Amino acid sequence: MNDWISSFVFFFAVIDPVGTLPVFIAVTSRHAEWQRRRIAFIAVAVATGILLFFLLAGQYLLEAIGVPLSAFQVAGGIVLFLFALTMIFGEGKPEQEMGIVQSGHETAIFPLAVPSIASPGAMLAAVVLTDNHRFDPIHQFHTATAMFSVLAIVLLLLLSANRIHRWIGDTGASIVSRVMGLILASVATTNVLLGLQQFFMV
């Protein structure tokens, strides 16, 4: 159960469902209610497909090109840490991706599915948390269910986006994004240390 909670928190931090709300609202501001619901379903479905690909085939792809997972874990941890720093000290996720929206790329695929939901951090997490050398199939199944649970939360939040955004506002979404950044920084540091340990033990 603790492993499932850990995976859930990790995916929640890297996907940041609350931070996606302002992006979704901006993308769908001129659409009818039925169109907003359709965009939400498409965005989450595409993001789920991308993350599922990395969850199932990410490690095999790395091994095919000769990259050990420990090296990927260290690199991923560094990238996640830098990403977390931007969440904490720089522009939060809503501000960054709102800029993408305002540049004219207003589709369900970009920036909603990628990089808002299926973020680089989420792709890295899907690979690292299902390492065949460290985790058995039961643990990997729990990781998958944790990921799907977060994606289900994303969909529910997007379908209720207008009501939630009126309640927390842009400031609230930015605060949540920064808290998730702090959690992500801690997880990223742990990944780097575990990757180094695994590399030098081989």
Query: How many structural domains is the chain composed of?
Result: 1
- Residue 102 has a pLDDT of 46
On whether the CB atoms of residues 165 and 173 are closer than 8 A, the answer is yes
On whether the CB atoms of residues 150 and 158 are closer than 8 A, the answer is no
* Between 61 and 52, residue with greater pLDDT: 52
Q: From CA 13, how far away is CA 150, in angstroms rounded?
A: 10
Q: What mean pLDDT do residues 34-55 have?
A: 92
- Residue 105 has a pLDDT of 38
Q: From CA 24, how far away is CA 100, in angstroms rounded?
A: 12
With cut-offs at 50, 70 and 90, classify the pLDDT of residue 135. confident
- Residues of the chain with pLDDT > 70: what percent? 88
CA-closest candidate to residue 188, choices 73, 18, 55, 17: 73
Q: Per mean pLDDT, which range of 23-27, 125-129, 134-138 is the poorest? A: 23-27
Residue 80 above 90 pLDDT?
Answer: no
- Residue 95 has a pLDDT of 55
Q: What mean pLDDT do residues 58-76 have?
A: 81
The whole domain housing 7 covers 2-201
Q: What mean pLDDT do residues 121-147 have?
A: 86
With cut-offs at 50, 70 and 90, classify the pLDDT of residue 94. low
On whether the CB atoms of residues 80 and 184 are closer than 8 A, the answer is yes
| Amino acid letter, 178 | R
Main-chain phi, psi angles of 111, to 5 degrees: -100, 10
pTM of the model: 0.73
Q: From CA 181, how far away is CA 192, in angstroms rounded?
A: 16
With cut-offs at 50, 70 and 90, classify the pLDDT of residue 50. very high
- Residue 164 has a pLDDT of 79
Q: What mean pLDDT do residues 176-184 have?
A: 76
- Residue 103 has a pLDDT of 40
Residue 120 above 80 pLDDT?
Answer: no
Q: What mean pLDDT do residues 68-86 have?
A: 78
With cut-offs at 50, 70 and 90, classify the pLDDT of residue 100. low
